[in-house]
Structure 1
Amino acid sequence: MSAILEALKDRVLLCDGAMGTQVQARSLSLADYDGHENCTDILSRTRPDVVRAIHEAYYEAGADMVETNTFGTSPLTLAEFGLEAEAFELNKRSAEIAREAQDKFKGDGRTRYVLGSIGPGTKLPSLGHVDYARLEASYAVQARGLIAGGTDAVLIETCQDPLQVKAAVNGVKIARAEANKAMPIFVQVTVETTGTMLVGSDIAAAATLMNALDVDSMGMNCATGPQEMGENIGWLATSWPRLISVQPNAGLPEVVDGRAVYPLAPDSFAHWHERFILEDGVNIVGGCCGTSPAHIAATHAMLTRLDPRRPHPKARSSVWMPSLASLYNQVPLIQENAFLSIGERLNANGSKQFRDLQAASNWDGITAMAKEQVKEGSHTLDVCTAFVGQDEKAAMTEVVSRLRGAVTAPLVIDSTEFPVLEAALELYGGKAVINSINFENGEEEAARRLELAKKHGSAVIALTIDEEGMAKETDAKLRVAHRLFDFAVGKHGLPASDLLFDPLTFTICTGNETDRKLAIETLEAIGRIRKELPDCGVVLGLSNV
């Protein structure tokens, strides 16, 4: 475990406040920005003294960690200023500047840290502004620079779109794998006064994906003051299983003499953080827009009053509910007093209506079918566009790009083709289900799909099929199920709750005496799977009977 994660297990840590607010207060000239107006990130090259002084001011105020001046330093964002070629070096240099500020305070008995800041950029993939692959590659470049500059962790902050977060997390994972470094990943989402992220995701939907992506910390920053964050931080306190952070603005901005003013005073700001610490058990506190070294100093004084060494985090009894998620909301895999219903009408192999709409490129008609299934009670929607004479990948792209913003039910991506699964998941900002894996052709294809599931935070349906074919008898079904469990959970790290077994049922009215008992074999297999692999789910297509 990294040093910063070890420290956070033991005590609450204080992050810095706003970088942009402090830069704007210095009345810099256009020349300071090398002609790139409002490109704060360029100051790490043109005015490192200014950036270093801001870091030092926050450390002096009592901060345990500062964020690098890299909020907009991904190649995609820098390209808006024609600076994309400088992305790696700007990130590396920004991290080094923060380290230089940190070095000034060595020897005083306190350990300080540097977080590599990764902002959301200006393009939201769930709204079609940018494709996933370009976004992930851009974040990988940024993360390489931050790692090379010596950051202790990466903070993906001010997130407004879960799909953007997924691209950033996976970009960081690519970079840290290349560097062979255990770089912790922290995420902070921004919830507007409407109660959701900008694209409409609630806190539970975002947390479902973050948990599936194995991020080390989740929290909130920006958009509002601490009071408006209280309800969602409370939800995280009772539900989120890992570290929690909170960095609010200094209240909601007010317009005074034609400019935005953040009204929350340092002492009131610190008081809110005390409540978050004592009531909600948060692990990291700090500030965002409108906060200053004075706000951090007041929070430092509060923390020192609670414990001169920093207070130990309050123990939380959080309960995480295994779930799926659409872009908008969370759907528990275990439904209270009901079963999880997977709507099957969006399947070109099973629905003539869907197949005809797909052939006619009637995407609005398909969207209407999806909405109708949700209205009738489907918790999730299976999507399969495979049909002779059709471009399966192109059709899947058209369908998912529309359904992701049109329905509240998570999607089950149903295809035998890996590129189709990958294309669909790169469009989806929720937590989907991959349908499916099996061992019919050995373990290689199943391994690729499980790696895809881990990357995109997806659950997986596993069919009890191996190299000998579809398991029909109960014992055979259990033998394959245990092998699938060991492979998916033990070898590839898929959470057991994200593994959904389909023990297969067969037609019983074939006229063959041996087939008449196949449904009983399936029912017995379901009972044994629930008993022997209790953390996993079971799904079944009853129409096959």
Structure 2
Amino acid sequence: MTHLLDYLADRVLLCDGPIGTQVQARQLDIERDFWGHENCTEILCESRPDLVLEIHRGYLAAGCDAIAATDSFGGSPITLGEFGIGDKAFALNRRAAELAREAIAEFAHDGRTRFVLGSVGPGTRLPSLGHIAYQDLEDALAIQCAGLIAGTADAILIETCQDPLQIKAAVNGAKRAREDAKNDIPIIVQVTVETTGTLLVGADIAAAATIIHALDVPIIGLNCATGPREMAEHVKWLGENWPGHISLQPNAGLPELIGGRTHYPLTPRELAQWLERFVVEDGVGIIGGCCGTEAAHIAALDQMLSRIGRDRPRPAPKTRHPVWTPSVASLYSQVPLRQENAYLSIGERCNANGSRGFRRLQEQGDWEGCVEIGREQVKEGSHTLDVCTAFVGRDEIAEMSEIVSRMRGSINAPLVIDSTEYPVLEAAMKLYGGKPIINSINFEDGEEAADKRLKLARRFGAAVIALTIDETGMAKEIEHKLAVAERLYDFACNKHGLPPSDLLFDPLTFTICTGNADDRRLGLNTLDAIERIRDRMPECQIILGLSNISFGLNPPARQVLNSVFLDHALRRGLTGAIVHFSKIQPLHRIPEEEVRIAEDLIFDRRREGYDPLQAYMALFQDRTIEKAEKKGRPEKLEDRLAQRIVDGDRQELEADLELAMQSYPPLDIINNILLSGMKTVGDLFGAGQMQLPFVLQSAETMKAAVGYLEPF
């Protein structure tokens, strides 16, 4: 029997249209046909198998290569349970696949290869909205998929997906059923993008693809909700980015209400024209129809594929050259693990061990206050948020669940789930629909704990932070750090199949501020280890818990040392850092003497009569954080406006612009004053003294200033 993935490598596959449209078009009796279960289409597999076969035959006669609309869309025990027949789930799904197979057998005389794709719909309860617990959903969908596999389905089609967490439950349920049956049939996931441009719960196509890719699903697609016109932008994105196969089953246009009945406006010819474009231009390899498509639409698609295939009934798929960007994702959007000209900023303040303010709110049960700390960090520029609820005397599972269940819908940044306890990590994974990062694994107690956590990461599609710690302790020397990193790579990537890009090494940062001679070169060792790991395992990410380097100093001294050390780490190959983003300063804002002595401390440039640690501490001896942060603006208005652009300072910007317009035309303010600030920004960026996030702040300030001046 031909494997579906082998078929797709050679030719485009044509699927059927919906079974629901056909059922609704018939005048069926609730008692006789539905056995009293009104609108339960799946019961027709038992009550009216002749009707199900008739519908399948219609699409097969029209020319389809696959039955994707097995009569199992609402066949999970949970959905069927709403009709009181949840116990029939396995049998009904098996029968749905068997009926599709029987229909295909009737067309075997033409010698064409055809497939049964077992349909799994989204059900009526979405876990990200709290309608159902994750595990209950996964268990139910495992039963549904087991029935479809028992009925000889060639693939599991998880379709009309509206919630990434429901996708995870369905994919994992399918994998369980597949493993139990010892059957390697592929899994297909089709998402439904609304006219808003997102899934129902808010995920855009990039976020959805990031989450699905992390689950090792080889085929992604779109179906339902809209017609092909509305899908075009999302199809183009998939064609340019998705590394696997692409499927597409649009509605026959956007539905219209005519005479009290739903009407889909696209003719067969129009649908065929749209899908020809997607096959030829975007490399879509599976096509078919959803709501409103009839056998005539499928016949038009069959004729179109035969025409463009020329001397073969189906064209070869277009050769694509997608560029996949390794990323994490929130419930809403994708965040690349490698930031262009910057680093992945992991906000550190939602951590009960490191933030007294967060811990206080957690103790008070002020969950909205905890979420607000997360929002603040995102506003400051954090790309992801580290979340840790562990401290003595608290219920870590319950409180992590409180935080994650609130942040998943309120924070547009992916979460880093930080805990040493496996049950806490597992509970968080079952709540989070995005692609998170697990913090962390190591070999301190051998490989067993890391093994469990990597299996968890693979199950839920998470990236993983790996600390360079083994059974002998935390690696401090360069060779030890590298050796543990290589062992972690082999264990995570080769043994467990974690993509190298999803492995984030933390080669450990230790304070260089104790005065102990043995600690003086620890920062330099970390920098050298970063460079060695980057060269040896270039696809992996490298991060640091940055603030450890300055532990023991007062806050102003810590900010400067952290900023200078980060700059050097980035030059060596660091790709991310756990930081308080707003406390990181670009080097051009730090006095040269402070940078010089900080570098002397980092690189252990002691000499007779000069100890960089003592010199550095003396610089900040009487300084408070308020004094350190206080920076006066230039008195001259022109200089003040230019400096606002350099600093990204929008506070009271409009007042200064009003003053400037008393002396200059708005265009002169832009060309002669504001642009001089942007030139300074460009010079600093080119000299490596200003990182991209600060450049973007300057650009936003420039944009705000120009926007204010434009009407004048």
Please state which band the TM-score falls in when normalised by the shorter chain: over 0.9
**Distance in 1 (alpha carbons) for counterparts of 2:401 and 2:145:** 29
Match runs of 1:18-417 below 5 Å: 18-31=18-31, 32-67=33-68, 68-307=70-309, 308-417=312-421
- How many Å apart are 1:216 and its aligned residue? 1.5
Aligned to 2:428, which of 419, 424, 430? 424
For residue 220 of structure 2, give the secondary structure of its aligned residue in structure 1.
strand
**Distance in 1 (alpha carbons) for counterparts of 2:357 and 2:333:** 28
For residue 540 of structure 1, give the secondary structure of its aligned residue in structure 2.
strand
Corresponding residue of 2:4: 4
Which stretch of structure 1 is more off in the superposition, 306-315 or 96-105?
306-315
> What CA deviation, in whole Å up to 9, does each residue of 1:202-226 have, x standing for no partner?
0000000110001110010000000
> What CA deviation, in whole Å up to 9, does each residue of 1:144-176 have, x standing for no partner?
000000000010000000100000000000010
Corresponding residue of 1:16: 16
For residue 110 of structure 2, give the secondary structure of its aligned residue in structure 1.
coil
- How many Å apart are 1:477 and its aligned residue? 0.1
Corresponding residue of 2:699: none
Give the letter aligned to residue 58 of structure 2: A
**Distance in 2 (alpha carbons) for counterparts of 1:403 and 1:236:** 28
Aligned to 1:541, which of 516, 541, 545? 545
Corresponding residue of 1:498: 502
Q: Give TM-score scaled by structure 2 length.
A: 0.76
For residue 341 of structure 1, give the secondary structure of its aligned residue in structure 2.
strand
**Distance in 1 (alpha carbons) for counterparts of 2:163 and 2:500:** 27
Match runs of 1:453-492 below 5 Å: 453-492=457-496
For residue 109 of structure 2, give the secondary structure of its aligned residue in structure 1.
coil
For residue 505 of structure 2, give the secondary structure of its aligned residue in structure 1.
strand
- Tell me if the contact between 1:328 and 1:408 (Cα under 8 Å) persists in the aligned partners: yes
Percent identical: 65
- Tell me if the contact between 1:504 and 1:540 (Cα under 8 Å) persists in the aligned partners: yes
For residue 544 of structure 2, give the secondary structure of its aligned residue in structure 1.
coil
**Distance in 2 (alpha carbons) for counterparts of 1:40 and 1:370:** 45
For residue 438 of structure 2, give the secondary structure of its aligned residue in structure 1.
strand
**Distance in 2 (alpha carbons) for counterparts of 1:473 and 1:148:** 55
**Distance in 2 (alpha carbons) for counterparts of 1:420 and 1:342:** 20
**Distance in 2 (alpha carbons) for counterparts of 1:387 and 1:194:** 42
For residue 187 of structure 1, give the secondary structure of its aligned residue in structure 2.
strand
- How many Å apart are 1:309 and its aligned residue? 2.4
Q: Which has the higher contact order (CA 8 A, sep 6+)?
A: 1
**Distance in 2 (alpha carbons) for counterparts of 1:320 and 1:166:** 21
**Distance in 2 (alpha carbons) for counterparts of 1:142 and 1:87:** 6
For residue 196 of structure 2, give the secondary structure of its aligned residue in structure 1.
coil
- How many Å apart are 1:367 and its aligned residue? 0.9
- Tell me if the contact between 1:2 and 1:182 (Cα under 8 Å) persists in the aligned partners: no
- How many Å apart are 1:18 and its aligned residue? 1.3
**Distance in 2 (alpha carbons) for counterparts of 1:59 and 1:482:** 54
- Tell me if the contact between 2:2 and 2:113 (Cα under 8 Å) persists in the aligned partners: no
- How many Å apart are 1:377 and its aligned residue? 0.3
**Distance in 2 (alpha carbons) for counterparts of 1:304 and 1:26:** 31
- How many Å apart are 1:472 and its aligned residue? 0.3
Which stretch of structure 1 is more off in the superposition, 19-28 or 149-158?
19-28
For residue 107 of structure 1, give the secondary structure of its aligned residue in structure 2.
helix
- Tell me if the contact between 2:241 and 2:325 (Cα under 8 Å) persists in the aligned partners: yes
For residue 539 of structure 1, give the secondary structure of its aligned residue in structure 2.
strand
Aligned to 1:509, which of 508, 513, 516? 513
For residue 328 of structure 2, give the secondary structure of its aligned residue in structure 1.
strand
**Distance in 1 (alpha carbons) for counterparts of 2:365 and 2:7:** 55
**Distance in 2 (alpha carbons) for counterparts of 1:303 and 1:2:** 20
- Tell me if the contact between 1:435 and 1:461 (Cα under 8 Å) persists in the aligned partners: yes
For residue 498 of structure 2, give the secondary structure of its aligned residue in structure 1.
coil
- Tell me if the contact between 1:225 and 1:251 (Cα under 8 Å) persists in the aligned partners: yes
**Larger Rg belongs to:** 2
- How many Å apart are 1:107 and its aligned residue? 2.4
Give the letter aligned to residue 541 of structure 1: G
> What CA deviation, in whole Å up to 9, does each residue of 1:517-536 have, x standing for no partner?
00000000000111000000
Give the letter aligned to residue 28 of structure 1: L
Corresponding residue of 2:617: none
**Distance in 2 (alpha carbons) for counterparts of 1:442 and 1:266:** 62
**Distance in 2 (alpha carbons) for counterparts of 1:2 and 1:56:** 21
Give the letter aligned to residue 461 of structure 1: I
Give the letter aligned to residue 195 of structure 1: G
- How many Å apart are 1:541 and its aligned residue? 1.0
For residue 344 of structure 2, give the secondary structure of its aligned residue in structure 1.
coil
- How many Å apart are 1:335 and its aligned residue? 0.5
- How many Å apart are 1:2 and its aligned residue? 6.3
- How many Å apart are 1:441 and its aligned residue? 0.2
**Distance in 1 (alpha carbons) for counterparts of 2:111 and 2:81:** 42
**Distance in 2 (alpha carbons) for counterparts of 1:147 and 1:2:** 16
Give the letter aligned to residue 112 of structure 1: R
Are residues 162 and 122 of structure 1, via their aligned partners in 2, closer, same or farther at CA, if it must alter by over 3 Å?
same
Give the letter aligned to residue 178 of structure 1: D
**Distance in 2 (alpha carbons) for counterparts of 1:445 and 1:2:** 40
For residue 313 of structure 2, give the secondary structure of its aligned residue in structure 1.
coil
> What CA deviation, in whole Å up to 9, does each residue of 1:479-507 have, x standing for no partner?
00000000000100000000000000111
- Tell me if the contact between 1:2 and 1:183 (Cα under 8 Å) persists in the aligned partners: no
Give the letter aligned to residue 201 of structure 2: V
For residue 521 of structure 2, give the secondary structure of its aligned residue in structure 1.
helix
Backbone CA RMSD of aligned residues: 0.8
**Distance in 2 (alpha carbons) for counterparts of 1:139 and 1:542:** 43
Matched, 1:435 2:439: yes
- Tell me if the contact between 2:384 and 2:415 (Cα under 8 Å) persists in the aligned partners: yes
- How many Å apart are 1:508 and its aligned residue? 1.1
For residue 246 of structure 2, give the secondary structure of its aligned residue in structure 1.
strand
Q: Give TM-score scaled by structure 1 length.
A: 0.99
Are residues 179 and 393 of structure 1, via their aligned partners in 2, closer, same or farther at CA, if it must alter by over 3 Å?
same
